[in-house]
Chain A
Amino acid sequence: MRTDKFGRSGLVRTEPAGLNRWAGETDPRVIFRNIVQRPRHKTTGETVTIVGDHDPALLKYFDCTRSGPRSAFDSNVVFQFEIMEYILDFGFDRLGADGSQAGQIDHPILITECVCNPVHSRSKMAELLFETYGVPSVVPCLFHVVLKMHLFRAYGVDAAFSYKYNQQRGICDKDGLAICPGFTTTHVIPFIDGEPVYNGCCRTNIGGFHVTDYLKQILSLKYPHHMARFTWEKVEDLKMEHCYITPDYGSEARLFQKATKEAEEKTRCWQLPWVPPPIEALPSEEEIARKAAIKERQGQRLREMAEAKRSSRINELENELHGLEFLLKQLEQVEAEDIPSFLSETGYVSKLEIESAVVKVTQSLRKAKGEPKGEQADIEEKTDPASTEKFPLINVPDNILTAEQLKEKRRQLFLKTTSEGRQRAKQKRQEEELERERRNQEDEIKRLENPELYLEQLQAKYKELSEKVEQRKRLKTNGGHTNGNNVSGGVGRGERLNAAQRERMRLLTTAAFDRGKGEDTFGARDEDWQLYKLMSKDNDDDDDGPDEDEAELGRISSRLQEVDPTFVPKSEAGTSQPTEVPRLRPLTKEDFQIVLGVERFRCPEILFRPNWIGIDQAGLDEMAGVSIRRLPSKNQELEERLTSSIFMTGGSCLFPGISERLEAGIRMIRPCGSPIRVVKALDPILDAWRGASAYAASPHFLTQTFSKMDYYEKGEDWLRRYQFQYTI
């Protein structure tokens, strides 16, 4: 059965993403992605080899974490022949090489390679095929093929086969340009008289791989939460299904920018699986009532507890007070000289101390009973005039006092200054209050005169002040770096500190540097020591008391609240609010949608503009011009013949709109009026294989092959120059 089908078969190798297949028929028998995985089997622990794509469900038995899928190709050149061997093994195995007589594949092999394949790759491949897969003199042939042949090899260029195949079918002429955007590279090959002209070839390192990778990157940057969804296979599918090439990128992008209806129609949406979160039912009336009751009960209990505590404390204090009063009464009866011995039992030192204790206890008792504080303050005030009596030692000169009295005097002095300070602060507060009152009254008069104008003025003032305060705050936290929303953008060392901190750093560094310089005179003068004060950390908060502006702002905002019911003061949280809102928002269906708009034509556009992804080379349309320029003979008639038969093949020319775009692009670089015709291969992916297959079946093929003997005798230079004749 197989005999006729494999009459003269060839194994066709294609581009990295390509397919590996036997030849001789109209359609390949085996198609697989030439990638190799070497995972470890989970239960037995042995490393196995898996070639091509398989049901991902079966991969659960393997531990694929150590090694991902690997390719034998670097760019479009085979460089890992171990992987290549696995791929060939798999290919031959699947084609039914059962090998009843071991050790040989008795067929000429037709294998394709990239344009100007380095001889290293060529010879390694030849070696692999000759040495590993068979020797010429072995008798029985595999696949029941009657022909006994030595292993022959021939190299062909993929695109050439596709070109030939389509030429035979009248798609393109014998002179023409083949443009083949492949997986990792794009080639333009001019054909003259049906033979490729290598001098005119050009290659740009861009292809379908880059398009998919670009789409993958864009999507994962646009939707960082769904990054795990964008697997290579999925993105590849998205690319093949949705991407297209526009005739004019700029105008198409503007459509989307203006959010026109056309753009909306062109937008595709991929809905990720999403389950709406269960809607929480609002608590019923009873529930609310029940909760309120529980709360009320708890509050009641707390109140009771507090009350009990208070009464017990009052009790305690009263008892103490009684005790102290009793002690005082007893003291009155005791003789003056007996006082110390009497008191030694009670723990007090003097009568004075007992009296002060009495005052203290009465005060706390009053507090516990909940009498208003004002009264207490009044009392304090009342006692004030008597301060001289309270601090009797202050005006007594030191020399007539004993050591103990001196100590006492110092204490009294301290107490006096603090109480005076308090007094002053209080007075100031009162004055401020009065001032505020007065201004409020003034404002009120103004308001009554012209309410609208007043409101306007107030609001303007509020705005101005709040900005000022804000600015100040920012300066304080951000050290003059007012453009505050970019936290990450190159913030230098100086920018991070505020002015005071910077000054401190400067002092520290100068101090550190001064150490080594000559004679150290630090500390000789008193001012030197001021330095430490400046350096100390407490110096950092340069708060010069409560900010006047802030106080004014507070007054105005409270005033505004009174006057204008719609006024809402800007809270400090206001600035950080916008970032927090989306986090609190429950996730909706829209959060699980991947929207493809501009991306649909942005990604394949890199075939025409490789510098968008940092590849500084000409795009598809320019390559055609480059290729024509490189041709050795300048001949306008020939150039016209070439451009009137531009032929596209390869996986990446499947994007809709590519022919029109290419035609427009080439028209721009060709002289006016030159004939331009762009055609696509009948089947851009498989035509190369079909061409090769047809070629392998022709008798001319055998004259083109070379044997193992040729390979070893003629040397590397011959192999380098070896070129295949495509014309049959």
Chain B
Amino acid sequence: MEPEVIQAELVLPNHLSFKKIQMYEKYPKGQSRGRHWKHLKQIIQAENFQNYPPDESNYVNIESPPSMHPCKKICDITGYEAPYSDPRTNLRYASAEVFKTIRSLPNEYVQRYLAQRNAAVVLK
């Protein structure tokens, strides 16, 4: 290893004396471990929140409800207020100039703009 890397103490040492079980003991080299962790979605599913009284707060029920305010529509390209929307691309736009640009956009870019507000077509 290069001296400057060692000097910067960049790399976490393999053996740490304050640990009871070292990393290399827990996960021996060359053994495929597979996936030993759960995503948040799986964790939540396993918690079985539905079995607990609904007035007891948990990770899921503290989420905020959808907004009650009307959603202000903004131009996907410029960020100005958008009174119009293009029926072909579904993009919102603020003025005729922006309309011209969105009509000249390749489909890939249209989808990327839509993806910003989670409105893109997702093929599964």
Expressed in whole angstroms, the minimum distance between the Cβ of A661 and any Cβ of chain B is 14
Complex CA distance for A48 and B8, rounded to whole angstroms: 14
Selected contact of B20 from candidates A55, A133, A486, A609, CB within 8 Å: A133
Known contacts A118-B47, A199-B57, A609-B71; A616 and B16 CB within 8 A of each other: no
CB contact list, A167-210 vs B, under 8 A: 198-199, 201-205
A598 is an interface residue with CB less than 8 A from chain B: yes
B5 is an interface residue with CB less than 8 A from chain A: yes
Expressed in whole angstroms, the minimum distance between the Cβ of B97 and any Cβ of chain A is 11
Residues of B within 8 A of A199 (CB): 55, 57
Residues of A within 8 A of B72 (CB): 249-250, 609
Q: Is the CB of B67 within 8 A of A488?
A: no
Q: Is the CB of B1 within 8 A of A44?
A: yes
Complex CA distance for A85 and B20, rounded to whole angstroms: 12
Encoded as 1 (CB less than 8 Å from any B CB) or 0, chain A from 601 to 617 comes to 01000000111111111
Complex CA distance for A598 and B98, rounded to whole angstroms: 15
Q: Is the CB of A79 within 8 A of B12?
A: no
Encoded as 1 (CB less than 8 Å from any A CB) or 0, chain B from 95 to 119 comes to 1000000011111011011001111
Q: How many residues of A contact B (CB 8 A)?
A: 87
Known contacts A58-B5, A92-B16, A598-B80; A49 and B11 CB within 8 A of each other: yes
Residues of A within 8 A of B62 (CB): 115-116, 198, 201-203
Minimal Cβ-Cβ distance residue in A for B12: A49
Encoded as 1 (CB less than 8 Å from any A CB) or 0, chain B from 60 to 76 comes to 00111111110110100
A451 is an interface residue with CB less than 8 A from chain B: no
Q: Is the CB of A254 within 8 A of B81?
A: yes
Q: Is the CB of B39 within 8 A of A254?
A: no
Selected contact of B10 from candidates A58, A135, A486, A617, CB within 8 Å: A58
Selected contact of A618 from candidates B58, B67, B89, CB within 8 Å: B67
A214 is an interface residue with CB less than 8 A from chain B: yes
CB contact list, A40-54 vs B, under 8 A: 41, 43-44, 48-51, 54
Complex CA distance for A89 and B58, rounded to whole angstroms: 30
- Chain A residues with a Cβ under 8 A of chain B: 41, 43-44, 48-51, 54-55, 58, 61, 74-75, 77, 79-82, 85-86, 89-90, 92-93, 97-100, 102-105, 114-121, 131-135, 142, 198-199, 201-205, 214, 217-218, 221, 249-250, 253-254, 256-257, 485-490, 598-599, 602, 609-619, 622-623, 626, 632
Selected contact of B63 from candidates A43, A74, A204, A611, CB within 8 Å: A204
Complex CA distance for A134 and B21, rounded to whole angstroms: 9
Number of A-B contacts (CB under 8 A): 205
Minimal Cβ-Cβ distance residue in B for A616: B66
CB contact list, B1-59 vs A, under 8 A: 1-2, 4-5, 8, 10-13, 16-21, 23, 26-27, 36-40, 43-44, 46-47, 55, 57-59
Q: Is the CB of A489 within 8 A of B88?
A: yes
Q: Is the CB of A626 within 8 A of B65?
A: yes
Q: Is the CB of A51 within 8 A of B12?
A: yes
Q: Is the CB of A77 within 8 A of B117?
A: no
Q: Is the CB of B20 within 8 A of A131?
A: yes
Selected contact of B64 from candidates A102, A203, A218, CB within 8 Å: A203
What 12 additional pairs, Cβ within 8 angstroms, besides A44-B1, A61-B1? Answer: A79-B37, A199-B55, A203-B64, A221-B116, A250-B72, A254-B81, A257-B95, A485-B103, A488-B105, A617-B64, A618-B67, A622-B68
Known contacts A118-B47, A486-B104; A611 and B40 CB within 8 A of each other: no
Residues of B within 8 A of A615 (CB): 118
Selected contact of A93 from candidates B1, B4, B13, CB within 8 Å: B13
Expressed in whole angstroms, the minimum distance between the Cβ of B44 and any Cβ of chain A is 6
Complex CA distance for A487 and B36, rounded to whole angstroms: 48
Minimal Cβ-Cβ distance residue in B for A204: B64
Known contacts A102-B18, A133-B19; A118 and B43 CB within 8 A of each other: yes
Q: Is the CB of A54 within 8 A of B8?
A: yes
Known contacts A100-B17, A489-B88; A80 and B37 CB within 8 A of each other: yes
Residues of A within 8 A of B1 (CB): 41, 43-44, 61
